Structure 1
Amino acid sequence: MSETPKTGSSNTESPKADPASPTTSSGIPVELVYDAKSLAGFDAARELGAPGEFPFTRGIQPTMYRGRLWTMRQYAGMGDAEESNKRYKFLLAHGTKGLSVAFDLPTQIGYDSDDPMAMGEVGKVGVAIDSIEDMERLFEGIRLDAISTSMTINATASILLALYVAVARRAGAEVRRLSGTVQNDILKEYIARGTYIYPVRHAMRLVTDIFAWAAEEVPEWNTISISGYHMREAGCTAVQEVAFTLANGMTYVQAALDAGLDVDAFAPRLSFFFNAHNNLLEEVAKFRAARRMWARVMRERFGAKNPRSWMLRFHTQTAGSTLTAQQPENNIVRTTLQALAAVLGGTQSLHTNGFDEALALPTENAARIALRTQQILAHESGVAQTVDPLAGSYYVESLTDEIERRAEEYLAAIARFDASSKGGGGKYGMLRAIEQGYVQREIQNAAYAYQRDVDEKRAVVVGVNEFASGSDAEEAVVPLQRIDAALEQRQVERVRALRARRDAGVHAAALRGVEDAARGGENLMPRILRAVESYATVGEIANVLRGVFGEYRESVTV
């Protein structure tokens, strides 16, 4: 966001409306009035159908929230395992129905807390997890077979999922009843986020190994959360979010098929992760369009027969990139609008951001307000009482169709990146589009265009480029969450103590097993599970795989 303008007095006058025709955040022109002519040729039976039926435009369940409310899943993780465990118990006590784990950067990119690469980052943006002992501390006193857990982890997803299963085993939980999601979406890391480790095709092997192993061992687990969220945080539009997320999803499905998996064996456990921004009706239309498009892709392109394979099930998080450090209480209103869009769009689970997250990790008070926002929407607003309440709106249906049309144009462009390869037919166009920087450039261009609109006040950000406070004294003082500076050294000492007391022979044999599987074609998950149970650390396992696969080095030409 641009800096608060320096003004001598409070700016409280409303800006004049732009006489030019407005557009949505994706640049879709908005008409003054929508009527029946706006939907000329619209086939309600084909485009809408009934809730719970193909193409699922109106939602994946016939009763939606009357049957069960969305899962209120608050994302949390800070410092070490003990501190995060306290926050999880706080959230559970206040009514959250699912946990969502944030990991620190060293854990995300496969470095132990005592690695020089981890210095200064341990526990800063999430919880530090080095070993099975840390994972046990993280979930101490929480029944893993009685809750649903989402883990935002990608390059090291196989290791963290193995740690979760190993801890559940130790606690006597029935592993086949474990439910939750591992993000495991590596493609968006190359596009927008950067927490990758291995070259793309080796990373894709780890993704499909999780698909195959989890289908047999943890059948209730969602094996991937195909994420548009981070691309949207990087600046893409709503249309781009739909197109690039579905393109990534299609790439994963194709990779799994090429690995010999049956589409109906893994597709019902695929899930998605979307952002929710401020343009309320565009966001609702985005979710509806994505659901309809995915249903057709899975049935018509990939030949899935199971209706559950056609369903786009998704988690939503409100938009961190829209939160402002200026007038942070305004973020409560932004988050409420975004959460409402997700609910009206039919999300299966939802995280609402804390109002202070432009400044620091959320305090308990901010986390409580964020959760209460969901609870008020669920129990006081009335929006959960009927399915897809905006269906039939001339504007919403027109917008849904237009988002789908523009997203299909992107998908066609992406397919052409593979069309020249022998037998390619666009199957791996997204991989080549990423490798050649096409997707990254499209997002960068959209982000630049939006920031230019903010700077030139064509896009109003309340409290930033309009209605800004006249002085710092008018800004509220917000208490911030602080991470104990001594935490990093404590975590370093823990991982070193673990190495000193474990059985060196068992540990070394387990790591050799991981290396052998990596060099061959064996599914890596059983070997990784054995390694974490032998007290191998996240960094040690990741380093074994680095030794076999190498590391990815970005070489995008812009």
Structure 2
Amino acid sequence: MTKKFTDSGIEIKELYDSKDQLKPEASAPGSFPFTRGVQPDMYRGRLWTMRQYAGFSTAEESNKRYHYLLSQGVSGLSVAFDLPTQIGYDSDHALSEGEVGKVGVAIDSIEDMQTLFNGIKLEEVSTSMTINATGFILLSFYVALAKQQGADLKKISGTIQNDILKEYAARGTYIYPPKPSMRIITDIFEWCGNEVPKWNTISISGYHIREAGSTAVQEIAFTLSNGKAYVKAAIAKGLDINVFGKRLSFFFNAHNNLFEEVAKFRAARKMWAQIMKDLGATDPKAMMLRFHTQTGGSTLTAQQPLNNISRVTIQTLSAVLGGTQSLHTNGYDEALSLPTEEAARIALRTQQIVAFESGAPDTVDPLAGSYFVEALTQEVENAAWQLIEKIDAMGGSVSAIEEGFIQDEIARSAYEYQKQIETGEKIIVGVNKFQVQQEDPIPVFKIDDSIRTIQTNKLQQLKTNRNPAKVDQCLQYLNDKATSGENIMPAVVEAVENKCTLGEIADTLREVFGEYK
């Protein structure tokens, strides 16, 4: 008989019964260890936040898309930034050529941030920003804009990704070496705790680890290990785990193996609760794993792209049945280009159909008690703990990344997966089976290279209209704070309010911290 396995290599039995239900989860939803969900009533009380990840071209163009998405029923915004913004270069920098506005929106200054959120009251919307190395600068732009709008900073809500460890391991948009990067992150934890208490200061991301080729088990093992490293760094700085622990959030991927994905989400909650308890948390809210999910970009195919609508639907169901707090669904055309407006709308409608027509949100943890799901949850958990123990033995995530262990594990899994596709052991519909000879062309979304000229002109105008002496003073003040070891966030906020650019702020810290190669 042919054996069946999940993508993590967990063997699937032909039949599950009561003997396989290892130890049913005794705790109720909303209580430790939160396997069954972080709220007692889950979606009966409030649906997950429906986000659409969007950002391209200029702030003006992205602002139009945000207004469109809000008119179509999104309940939270999610901002994609272009590559220069992510790695701390202004649009007029030589290294920015060919990349401005391509994979996200170009944000060089407070003025771009004003344009990006024109007509949107920041006090009334939750905003997630996928930004890491320069997360502290984008958060400062956002806070400065909220102050200009007269918002109560105690009511501002949202998330910056701010997860640098996975950049070294899987994604590559880092600037500074690990130690100063960890210091910036703990500065953000401390500052937000006092100034913007509802802001999620980090979204510890398994998404990009999975996109780089990891399995579901590796995704949660490496993500939770990174989370542990951030918590230990914050404790070492003297921060209270029961305070900053409540503002940690996670970001996971949803792939096509419906039951393994549900098991992954349930296991991750249980494991994080135990990790936080072991690290000294006593407040249940500081032990809760709250997470955003994005459907799997790497699962989407350029061949027969309309099939991706079905893939995204399965992935949406896995996130909802697994208890996500927030969800972004990918456009069917994203293997070809940034999503068109039509693709973004269909992706949002997929969430709305699951929310209002499927019945999936009507009861808490609907797959609990399934012999298969309970056994799989336990197996995913066991396999993930084994990996975490290996990382702990190396001295934690930072050491494991420096030794190349995590990168090697991801590369090995990616290779194995690709090999299975090439041999036909794993079937991808429309790619290695059920192909068609000729496909109808799909309209793609193109970004014009002239955006760099537009952004460069804006920067020239900004620099003409600001006070050069004040800019120099602000950047020197930031340099002093970075050198002395004091919290840099007040200095960054002051710098952006005085029209210092993203590149100028990033370069000031390059002088102090150096660059990671």
Is the contact made by 1:48 and 1:55 (CA closer than 8 Å) also made in structure 2? no
Select between 171-180 and 193-202 the one with higher mean Cα deviation: 171-180
How far apart, CA to CA, are the structure 2 residues paired with 1:112 and 1:49?
Answer: 50
Matched, 1:515 2:473: no
Equivalent residues in 2 for 1:224-263 (5 A)? Answer: 224-263=202-241
Who is 1:479 aligned against? 443
Who is 1:436 aligned against? 403
Who is 2:304 aligned against? 327
How far apart, CA to CA, are the structure 1 residues paired with 2:142 and 2:26?
Answer: 40
Matched, 1:27 2:9: yes
SS at match of 2:204: strand
Who is 2:262 aligned against? 284
Is the contact made by 2:98 and 2:449 (CA closer than 8 Å) also made in structure 1? no
Is the contact made by 2:100 and 2:449 (CA closer than 8 Å) also made in structure 1? no
Q: CA deviation at 1:305?
A: 1.2
- Compared CA separation, residues 20 and 411, structure 1 to 2 (3 A): same
Matched residues, percent identical? 61
Who is 1:466 aligned against? 433
SS at match of 2:249: strand
Who is 1:503 aligned against? 467
Q: CA deviation at 1:479?
A: 1.0
Matched, 1:543 2:507: yes
Q: CA deviation at 1:476?
A: 2.3
Is the contact made by 1:178 and 1:221 (CA closer than 8 Å) also made in structure 2? yes
Equivalent residues in 2 for 1:249-398 (5 A)? Answer: 249-299=227-277, 301-398=278-375
SS at match of 1:384: helix
- Compared CA separation, residues 48 and 291, structure 1 to 2 (3 A): farther
How far apart, CA to CA, are the structure 1 residues paired with 2:178 and 2:311?
Answer: 36
How far apart, CA to CA, are the structure 2 residues paired with 1:251 and 1:476?
Answer: 48
How far apart, CA to CA, are the structure 1 residues paired with 2:137 and 2:451?
Answer: 23
SS at match of 2:362: coil
SS at match of 1:129: coil
RMSD: 0.7
What TM-score do the two structures reach when normalised by structure 1? Answer: 0.92
Who is 1:120 aligned against? 98
Residue type at the aligned position of 2:501: T
Consecutive unaligned residues in structure 1, runs of 5 or more = 1-18, 419-428, 554-558
Is the contact made by 2:300 and 2:332 (CA closer than 8 Å) also made in structure 1? yes
User: How many residues were matched structurally?
Assistant: 517
Residue type at the aligned position of 1:196: Y
CA distances 1:401-448 after superposition (whole Å, capped 9, x unpaired): 000000000011001112xxxxxxxxxx21110001000000000000
CA distances 1:16-74 after superposition (whole Å, capped 9, x unpaired): xxx5201001000000000111134x2x3xx3410111110000000000000000011
CA distances 1:135-175 after superposition (whole Å, capped 9, x unpaired): 00000000100000000000000000000000111111111
SS at match of 1:359: coil
How far apart, CA to CA, are the structure 2 residues paired with 1:234 and 1:357?
Answer: 16
Who is 2:51 aligned against? 73
Equivalent residues in 2 for 1:35-46 (5 A)? Answer: 35-40=17-22, 42=23, 44=24
- Which of these residues, 366, 376, 388, is aligned with residue 411 of structure 1? 388
Is the contact made by 1:113 and 1:488 (CA closer than 8 Å) also made in structure 2? yes
Is the contact made by 2:220 and 2:264 (CA closer than 8 Å) also made in structure 1? yes
SS at match of 1:231: helix
How far apart, CA to CA, are the structure 2 residues paired with 1:120 and 1:34?
Answer: 54
Residue type at the aligned position of 1:185: D
How far apart, CA to CA, are the structure 1 residues paired with 2:391 and 2:450?
Answer: 48
Residue type at the aligned position of 1:25: D
CA distances 1:279-329 after superposition (whole Å, capped 9, x unpaired): 000000000000000111111x11111110010000000000000000000
Q: CA deviation at 1:398?
A: 0.4
Residue type at the aligned position of 2:406: V
Select between 484-493 and 29-38 the one with higher mean Cα deviation: 484-493
Matched, 1:219 2:186: no
Is the contact made by 1:74 and 1:100 (CA closer than 8 Å) also made in structure 2? yes
Matched, 1:87 2:65: yes
SS at match of 1:242: helix
Is the contact made by 1:48 and 1:57 (CA closer than 8 Å) also made in structure 2? no
Q: CA deviation at 1:485?
A: 2.8
How far apart, CA to CA, are the structure 2 residues paired with 1:274 and 1:27?
Answer: 19
- Which of these residues, 376, 379, 402, is aligned with residue 402 of structure 1? 379
How far apart, CA to CA, are the structure 1 residues paired with 2:323 and 2:455?
Answer: 41
CA distances 1:330-349 after superposition (whole Å, capped 9, x unpaired): 00000000010000000000
Is the contact made by 2:35 and 2:269 (CA closer than 8 Å) also made in structure 1? yes
4+ long deviations beyond 3 Å: none
Matched, 1:526 2:475: no
Equivalent residues in 2 for 1:80-229 (5 A)? Answer: 80-229=58-207
SS at match of 2:394: helix
SS at match of 2:252: strand
Is the contact made by 1:48 and 1:56 (CA closer than 8 Å) also made in structure 2? no
How far apart, CA to CA, are the structure 1 residues paired with 2:272 and 2:121?
Answer: 34
Is the contact made by 1:48 and 1:58 (CA closer than 8 Å) also made in structure 2? no
Is the contact made by 1:109 and 1:156 (CA closer than 8 Å) also made in structure 2? yes
Equivalent residues in 2 for 1:421-460 (5 A)? Answer: 429-460=396-427
What TM-score do the two structures reach when normalised by structure 2? Answer: 0.99
Q: CA deviation at 1:265?
A: 1.4
How far apart, CA to CA, are the structure 2 residues paired with 1:484 and 1:200?
Answer: 35
How far apart, CA to CA, are the structure 1 residues paired with 2:414 and 2:394?
Answer: 23
